Amino acid sequence: MNKLQKALVLFFIGTLTIGAAGCGGASTTTQSSSEKTKIEYWHVAAESFGGATVKSLVEQFNKENPDIEVVEKYNPDMYKGLTQNLQAAMASGNNPDVVQMGYSYLNYAAENLKYDNIEELIAKQSPEDKTFLQDNFLPNVLALAKTSDGKQIGIPYSMSVPVLYYNPEIFKQAGLDPDRPPQTWQEVVKAAKTIKDKTGNVGFFMQEYADNWAQQALIESNGGQVLTQKDGKTVAGFDSPEAAEAYQLLADMVKDGSGLHATNEEGFQAFLSGKLGMVCTTIGKRENFEKSAKFTVESTQFPSFAGKTKKVPAGGNFLMVFSKDAQKQKAAWRFIKFLESPESLATWTKGTGYLPPRKGVTEDPNGLKQFTEENKNMQSAMSQMPYIVNWASFPGANGLQAEQALIDVRDIILSGKETAASALKAAAEKVNALL
């Protein structure tokens, strides 16, 4: 009994001391940083996905700017998790200052969050940068962080685009020239067929994630639209002949065996083990593909439809500001300028595989000049910058469920149960009922 009492007393003293030490520690840090402007940067970069790069960038900024202290905070569960934390933080008045927001959350963020209008912020806090956005970003890239009514709610930061990866060894076996990969969808169909006939391997696979990102690129490159405006309301636009034609092209490939309809992971596994000729998916997979394939992975631009302009939706995120007082707004803007500098963007691209949103980073010797020259696969993504469009963002409370209808219809079309035209029509009715 005596021993137990002693142990308990020791335990309590121990906890008390640790607690006191903790308080002491906390109070000293607040004191030393009180003359600095402290801002919080929220991001979704997990340790395996650019987290180390975010840390090193923030560290560098803090070193170069002794009057500002940026604190980075990782939010798990991507943009959904970040948004939830953001709502909670704003309710309690402790909002962060700079935040990474996903492009597909554009409408949601504009409708539900109290953000700082970025153009007003620049005009007020840093008038000398008034033309910073126009000078450094392509208009189609700036539009990625613009709502449909024209409000610039943030600044594009990370971008990914779809590209066509291919296996040059299979190309050679099939008698195709690996230096002249298909540039149009008609050529893709032909190449897939040749691969199937000559080598027995399946020719083509388009990513089937639980979203319609790559399929949107296909539909819109053929002149179709995923969403369209009608009487001031957003409605489904994918029940058009152009969309059906584009989708039917995929379905026909699957039907004659030259295309694959499978889960994403299955398709990627098959490609990496050399059983599949071409895969259409995000440039974000580049590093992973290059590392795990048994062959040299090569890539080219997302194919177009003959005579039509290609359109590729951007994945990734943009930066939003939520600071309230002037000093923090100034600091936040300086931090954003640092993040969007060619040097930092180059670091970010190398650490993640995202494309830089800013003009000229690719040619800048301080930027990615050397990197792009060495990495051909990066070039096929970067050359698509002029074709970038907004990732369709389904509005309203049922938006995400509406998007699911379009995911479901992909299975219906590719399994050959219905023709693309009739399946898309049925899905459009479902989506319109939900929007």
Partner 1 sequence: MKRNHWYAALFLAPAAICLLVFSYLPLIQDVWLSFHTWNMVSPTMKFVGLQNYQQLCSGTELSKVLFNTLLYVFILIILNFILPYLLSFIMAHGMTSCNFFYRSALFIPSTLSLAVASIIFLWILNPLAGPLHIILSEIGLESPRWFKESGFAIAAIGMIIGWKVFGYNLIVMLAAMVAVPQDLLEAAKLENASKWQIFRHIILPLTSPTALYVFVITVVFGLQYVLVPVNMLTQGGPDQGSTNLVYIIYQYGFIFFQTGKAAAFAVLTIFFYSGFLLLKAVLDKKVHYEN
Task: List contacts with partner 1 (CB under 8 A).
Answer: 80, 83-84, 87, 91, 112, 201-202, 210, 260-263, 265-266, 269-270, 273, 275-276, 397-398, 400-401, 404, 407-409, 411-412, 414-415
Backbone angles phi, psi at 277, to 5 degrees: -75, -50
Give the separation between CA 342 and CA 356, rounded to whole angstroms: 8
Residue 254: CB minimum distance to partner 1, A: 9
Comparison of 28 and 112: residue with beta carbon closer to partner 1: 112
Contact 157, 353 (CB under 8 A): no
Give the separation between CA 431 and CA 398, rounded to whole angstroms: 9
Residue 240: CB minimum distance to partner 1, A: 22
Instruction: Look at residue 297 and give its three-state secondary structure.
Output: coil
Comparison of 246 and 409: residue with beta carbon closer to partner 1: 409
Residue 164: CB minimum distance to partner 1, A: 18
Comparison of 361 and 412: residue with beta carbon closer to partner 1: 412
Comparison of 17 and 87: residue with beta carbon closer to partner 1: 87
Instruction: Look at residue 123 and give its three-state secondary structure.
Output: helix
Comparison of 4 and 91: residue with beta carbon closer to partner 1: 91
Residue 47: CB minimum distance to partner 1, A: 18
Residue 143: CB minimum distance to partner 1, A: 26
Residue 158: CB minimum distance to partner 1, A: 22
Residue 96: CB minimum distance to partner 1, A: 15
Comparison of 194 and 398: residue with beta carbon closer to partner 1: 398
Burial class of 339 by CB neighbour count within 10 A (0 to 12, 13 to 18, 19+): buried
Taking phi over 0 as left and psi of -120 to 50 as alpha, with beta for the rest, 37 belongs to beta
CA neighbor of 406 nearest in space, from 238, 219, 233: 238
Residue 408: CB minimum distance to partner 1, A: 5
Comparison of 261 and 311: residue with beta carbon closer to partner 1: 261
Interstrand relation of 276-282 and 162-166 (parallel, antiparallel or unpaired): antiparallel
Q: At 361, list the tokens.
A: 């980073």
Residue 202: CB minimum distance to partner 1, A: 6
Comparison of 1 and 210: residue with beta carbon closer to partner 1: 210
Residue-wise DSSP of 139-208: HHHHGGGB-TT--B-SEEEEEE-EEEEE-HHHHHHTT--TTS---BHHHHHHHHHHHHHHHSSEEEEE--
Residue 273: CB minimum distance to partner 1, A: 4
Residue 401: CB minimum distance to partner 1, A: 4
Contact 201, 276 (CB under 8 A): yes
Q: What separation in angstroms does the CA of 255 have from each of 134, 195, 202, 328?
A: 47, 15, 12, 58
Comparison of 77 and 135: residue with beta carbon closer to partner 1: 77
Q: At what angle do helices 420-434 and 241-255 cross, to 10 degrees?
A: 130
Comparison of 1 and 397: residue with beta carbon closer to partner 1: 397
Comparison of 196 and 334: residue with beta carbon closer to partner 1: 196
Give the separation between CA 13 and CA 35, rounded to whole angstroms: 35
CA neighbor of 40 nearest in space, from 64, 62, 66: 62
Cα torsion through 123, 124, 126, 128, rounded to 10: 50
Q: At what angle do helices 241-255 and 399-414 cross, to 10 degrees?
A: 50
CA neighbor of 242 nearest in space, from 215, 229, 223: 223
